[in-house]
A and B are shown apart, each in its own frame.
Chain A
Amino acid sequence: MSGEATWALQKAVFDALTGSADLMAMVSGVYDHVPADTAFPYVTIGETTVADWSSKTFDGQEHSLTLHVWSRARGRKETKEIFGLVYAALNGAPLSVAGQQLVDLRFDFAQTLLDTDGLTFHGVQRYRAVTRVLS
């Protein structure tokens, strides 16, 4: 399995998120690796699971992409507002994925947790994407 599709998808998701003026007005940034002393709130691109979605006539992959929201606000309101902005940027969006046709990009689930430090709200959103290799 090639990692090209999953990396191209991550880049497209990053571009979509950082291209959202509403989201970027609310968070300090969108990160894969988070720099030290990054200001809250921020979004991180997390784990990806990839499965084969090929048929006899094309090569494709199904991706499960996890995004994380980190907030130090009092209560979950900020985390959930950021959830909404991420959803608006990604759910059903016709993203341009290099070398791939993005067949579908859909919200899967979200969960909020209070982190082990007792201070940080951790929001988890997972999206399902299907890509097909352009021949």
Chain B
Amino acid sequence: MTMTVSFTPLSANRLTAVDGQADAALRQVVSRALDSVAADARANVAGLRDAGRPGPSALEASIRIDPAADGLSGSVLAGGRDAPYAAFVEFGTRRAAAQPFLGPALAANATRICRDIAVAVDKGLGAAS
């Protein structure tokens, strides 16, 4: 199961000239966003876990980030070999209620991420003008 935080690099018309100015700031925004969403998702999983249950959480440990090569997009991933049930926790089953941990993590960060993108683009525009 993959949850993606992605951004489209500036490329159209007059904004093309701004790319170089904004990219560095956007890469920082993307990096911070991925780290923040992943951290919140891990915290959500920790909150779901029964108190007193021993040992590390395989689901929590499976949450990782996957930035794109250009640094302008990336994904927060959960699941895989050690926690193949991640999607069933997030979305539920017929017999078990959903306990979303990734969606709320993204929602909690979305407003700030959008604001940070706007600031990064504004700075890029200012530097290019």
Contacts and interface: CB of A to CB of B under 8 A. Distances in A.
Interface of A: 46-47, 49, 51, 62, 64, 66, 68, 70, 111, 113, 115-117, 120, 122, 124, 126
B111 A51 contact: yes
Interface stretch (B13-21, B52-60, B85-93, B118-126): B85-93
A64 B91 contact: no
B contact patch SS: helix
B100 interface: yes
Given A51-B108, A51-B111, A115 B103 contact: no
Contact of B93 (A46, A66, A115): A115
Given A47-B100, A49-B104, A116 B88 contact: yes
**Range, interface on chain B:** 10 to 19
Given A62-B107, A111-B91, 9 more contacts: A46-B92, A49-B100, A49-B103, A49-B104, A49-B107, A64-B103, A113-B88, A116-B95, A122-B93
Interface in B34-79: none
A51 B92 CA distance: 22
Given A47-B100, A49-B100, A113-B87, A64 B107 contact: yes
Contacts of B108: 51
Contacts, number: 46
A68 B93 CA distance: 10
A116 B108 CA distance: 29
B67 to A, nearest CB: 21
Interface of B: 1, 87-88, 91-95, 98, 100, 103-104, 107-108, 110-111
A122 B98 contact: no
Nearest to A124: B91
A120 B94 CA distance: 8
20 contacts: A46-B92, A47-B103, A49-B103, A49-B104, A49-B107, A51-B107, A62-B111, A64-B107, A66-B91, A66-B100, A66-B103, A111-B87, A113-B87, A115-B93, A116-B93, A116-B94, A116-B95, A117-B95, A120-B94, A122-B92
